[in-house]
Amino acid sequence: MKYLLLFIGLFFLSSCKDSPKPGIQAVEQTSETELVVDQSHHGKVSIDTLEKYKNLGQKYAATTKGVLGKKLVQAITEKGPDGAVEFCNINALPLTDSLSLVQGAKIRRVSDKPRNPLNKANEKELVFIADFKKMLASGKAVEPILDTTDGQIDFYYPITTNAMCLQCHGAPEEQIVTSTLSILDKLYPKDMARVYQENEVRGIWAISFKQTN
C-alpha cells in the first residue's frame, strides 16, 4: 500500500513537468518491449507517462488475474465446475474495488462474446479485441494497447483461454458437462461465451485511468 501511494505521489509530481515531446512516434521502441499506442490519438501525452501507465496497467491486470485465477482453481478443486460458476465474476472481487479506489482507475473485463451482457465490449474495444486476435495469431509477443483519447489513458490487454476455462467456456456437452450447462443456461440465457478452444482471446482487461477523484 505504501508503495502504491508513493507511486501515485510520484506520478502527480512528475505529471506536472512532463512536457509533451514533439515528434513522438505512435509506436515507440523501448529497451525491453514495444509500446503500442493507438496511432490516431496518442496526442500530447509523453512516452514517459505512457510507460508509467503501461506498467501500472500490467500490474493491475496481473494482480486481478492472479486473484481471480486462484479463486477459480480453488473453487473448482473444492466444488467442481458447477459450484465454481460464481467465481468467474471480477465484480465480486473486493480487490477490484480497492485498486480502483486507490488510483481512480476503473478496471473492467469485457468481451466480444460476453456471457454476462454487462460485460459487452463497446465499439472501440471490439477493434482492440480484433487487434489482439491478430497479434496472437501472428505468434508475436502480445503487447498492451494504450489509448489516450479525450485526455484519459485507457489500457487494454487480452485475456486468453487455457484448458481450465473450457469447463465453462468450451463446447457444450463435451467440455462443459450437462450439470454445469444447465446452471449457465439458467443464469445467463443470452450466453455467447461458449465453444472456445485453448489459447484464444476470450476478452480484454480494460483499465481506465480517468483522474476524476
Residues lying near ligand HEC in the complex (CB under 6 A) are found at 72, 81, 84-85, 88-89, 91, 109, 111, 114-116, 119, 159, 161-162, 164-165, 167-169, 193, 202-203
Nearer to ligand HEC, 14 or 199 (CB): 199
Closest approach of Cβ 162 to ligand HEC, in Å?
A: 5
Nearer to ligand HEC, 4 or 90 (CB): 90
| Residue recorded with cell 480517468 | 210
Closest approach of Cβ 61 to ligand HEC, in Å?
A: 12
Closest approach of Cβ 15 to ligand HEC, in Å?
A: 31
Q: Are 93 and 64 in contact (CB under 8 A)?
A: yes
Closest approach of Cβ 112 to ligand HEC, in Å?
A: 9
Residue 155 makes CB contacts below 8 A (sequence gap 6+) with: 53, 54, 56, 57, 58, 60, 61, 144, 145, 146, 205, 206, 207, 208, 209
End-to-end CA distance of the chain: 18
Residue 153 makes CB contacts below 8 A (sequence gap 6+) with: 45, 49, 50, 53, 146, 147, 208, 209
Nearer to ligand HEC, 34 or 185 (CB): 185
Nearer to ligand HEC, 24 or 183 (CB): 183
